[in-house]
Amino acid sequence: RGSAGAEPYDAVVVGAGFSGLYLLHKLRGLGLRVRVLEAADQVGGTWLFNRYPGARCDIESIEYSYSFSAELEQEWNWTELLPGQREIEAYLNFVADRLDLRRDIQFETRVVAMTFDEDEASWLVETEAGERFVAPFVVAATGILSAPLAPDIPGLDTFAGTTLFSNRYPREGFDLTGKRVAIVGTGSTGVQAVPVVAEQADHLYVFQRSAAYTLPSPARSYEPGELAGLKARYDEIRAAQLTAHVGAARLSAFSVLVNMREFPSLLAASREEQLRAIEERGVTGALYWSDVMFDPEAGKLATALYGEAVARIVRDPETAASLTPTYPFGCKRPIIDQGYYETFNRENVTLVDLRKGAIQEITPTGIRTERGFYELDVILFATGFDALTGALTRIDVRGRGGALLRDFWSTEGAISYLGLQVAGFPNLFTIQGPGSPSAASNFVAAMEHHVEWIADAISAVRAGGHRTMEALPSAQAEWIDGITSLVAGSVVVHPDCNSWYNGANVPGKKRMYTTYPLGLPEYRRRCGEIAADGYAGFKLS
């Protein structure tokens, strides 16, 4: 239909979560006319939708927050070390107000198509309601964990009770008191929800397909005066963050991985030393060894020791055995919990081990597995996301020659150049696309760098009198091949490791690990070098 009559902008941003808000602020600062299109009726993105009981960040508040403004840092007061969903949502609303962002955000506007016009060198962005926008630049601030994965279970729609999804949880909450509740899924989300739901429900059934490695969370409220002390040395904290591999220098889910190589070797430790470690430190004691992630034999030993540590907490031996993972530690994003294993000692909690009998069907009254039937009032699915690419494959994104991004990723796998652009899709930038370090880092730190890099790139294109900037297929292939060779033989590509990191959690998705493994500082350095080199690997024309 062409772009005649479409509303013209300098840039369209899709999404008003952490990235979209900063993009709007940053691109406005360049003097651009920007429109942000957001499907929800509020800001917040991922932190708006994931309102499930227990939802909490796994990175410390003062690091999981914008660093670009000292005013924002000083004016906002975090109450907890690891922020809960509500506090993050409130923070993003505060930022939207403080920076006067809402006037350029159009809410309740779902983008369904984005088409590149080669003659005009511009993108036509179309919404579900039939609105049309045109702009030379589009930035997809659509989130890496934002496309919910609906489980493909026969009879799902026939359930007569209440079906809830962790990533579309009712805004007003849901009273689980007196209810027989199932939680399906034991990733980060399920593990966070289990202890909280167990407190409320009459009975909780935890349907587990893969057991998790999960370490006790350091979550707590800030002590009086503690935050003020941290804020007084924010510069120092941010400087440390910039040199930290994962973009978080303080406590986080990644703490277990920091300095891992400096610990003693598990294989070299005596049985007494191994047992003392789990006696003193619980499950954590099974994993804090230098060789756990780097030597398969040490990995196996660590898993066995982890199982022993779980069995010291969980009284029922069969449940403890079921809660022990069967894949190596380190191949998925680490999980932290608040009383997860202890919850299985409650009278009103039952673990349903799907490895012993898979789910067969959902009926109007409950879930049937190969081993039995569970009568339920509520099913809460915590079954994850079509990560990294899912948000964009659900939109008809057409680049050069009308090629669909969805088709490209389905044949080539989740690839891009630097996680910033996909070859064949000029002037379309992605925040934390596949090939970036985002999945294995503090997302906010990673995202801020992307926003700034993209803003600089757009400035360079305009200042140079160019119309388009486009990743070269050769640079993209080289980038992804580089990642593939860096992770070859490591635990993240272990055949037993199925996760959203490699697409194995989505039926039919090409299995591929494309998270940049050398950490944020090195990634930033590389992106800076590429920009300084006249955007090497990109074609500006």
Number of Cβ atoms within 10 Å of the Cβ of 128: 12
- For ligand NA7, give the closer residue by CB, 410 or 498: 498
- For ligand NA7, give the closer residue by CB, 460 or 504: 504
Chain residues binding ligand NA7 by CB under 6 A are 145, 151, 153, 184-190, 207, 209-210, 333, 354, 359, 382-384, 498, 500, 505
Phi, psi of 458 (to 5 degrees): -60, -40
Three-state SS at 117 = strand
Q: Which residues contact 164 (CB under 8 A, 6 or more apart)?
A: 52, 170, 174, 378, 379, 380, 381
- For ligand NA7, give the closer residue by CB, 254 or 408: 254
Half-sphere exposure (CA, 13 Å, Cβ side) for 103?
6
Cβ contact 293:491 at 8 Å: yes
Taking the complex as a whole, the smallest distance from the CB of residue 39 to ligand NA7 amounts, in Å, to 19
Taking the complex as a whole, the smallest distance from the CB of residue 484 to ligand NA7 amounts, in Å, to 22
Taking the complex as a whole, the smallest distance from the CB of residue 487 to ligand NA7 amounts, in Å, to 17
Phi, psi of 193 (to 5 degrees): -75, -35
- For ligand NA7, give the closer residue by CB, 333 or 526: 333
- For ligand NA7, give the closer residue by CB, 122 or 499: 499
Phi, psi of 388 (to 5 degrees): 65, -50
- Rounded Cα distance between 54 and 463, Å, is 48
- Rounded Cα distance between 51 and 64, Å, is 18
What tokens does 309 get?
Answer: 């540590």
Taking the complex as a whole, the smallest distance from the CB of residue 188 to ligand NA7 amounts, in Å, to 4
Residue 24: name the closest of 528, 527, 462, 455 by CA.
455
Residue 114: name the closest of 329, 392, 356 by CA.
392
Quote the DSSP letter at residue 482.
H
Taking the complex as a whole, the smallest distance from the CB of residue 189 to ligand NA7 amounts, in Å, to 3
Taking the complex as a whole, the smallest distance from the CB of residue 209 to ligand NA7 amounts, in Å, to 4
Burial of 125 (0-12, 13-18, 19+ CB in 10 A): buried
What angle is formed at CA 58 by the lines to CA 68 and CA 518, rounded to 5 degrees? 70
Taking the complex as a whole, the smallest distance from the CB of residue 252 to ligand NA7 amounts, in Å, to 11
- For ligand NA7, give the closer residue by CB, 197 or 475: 197
Taking the complex as a whole, the smallest distance from the CB of residue 246 to ligand NA7 amounts, in Å, to 12
Taking the complex as a whole, the smallest distance from the CB of residue 135 to ligand NA7 amounts, in Å, to 31
Cβ contact 110:347 at 8 Å: no
Three-state SS at 405 = helix
- Rounded Cα distance between 408 and 359, Å, is 33
Taking the complex as a whole, the smallest distance from the CB of residue 73 to ligand NA7 amounts, in Å, to 24
Tell me which long-range contacts 224-231 makes (C-beta under 8 A, separation of at least 24). 227/62, 227/77, 227/78, 230/62, 231/62, 231/73, 231/74
Cβ contact 406:397 at 8 Å: yes
- For ligand NA7, give the closer residue by CB, 267 or 504: 504
Nearest residue to the partner ligand NA7, using Cβ = 187
- For ligand NA7, give the closer residue by CB, 365 or 369: 369
Quote the DSSP letter at residue 3.
S
What tokens does 29 get?
Answer: 């600062």
- For ligand NA7, give the closer residue by CB, 17 or 190: 190
Taking the complex as a whole, the smallest distance from the CB of residue 389 to ligand NA7 amounts, in Å, to 14
Three-state SS at 180 = strand
- For ligand NA7, give the closer residue by CB, 124 or 145: 145
- For ligand NA7, give the closer residue by CB, 58 or 291: 58
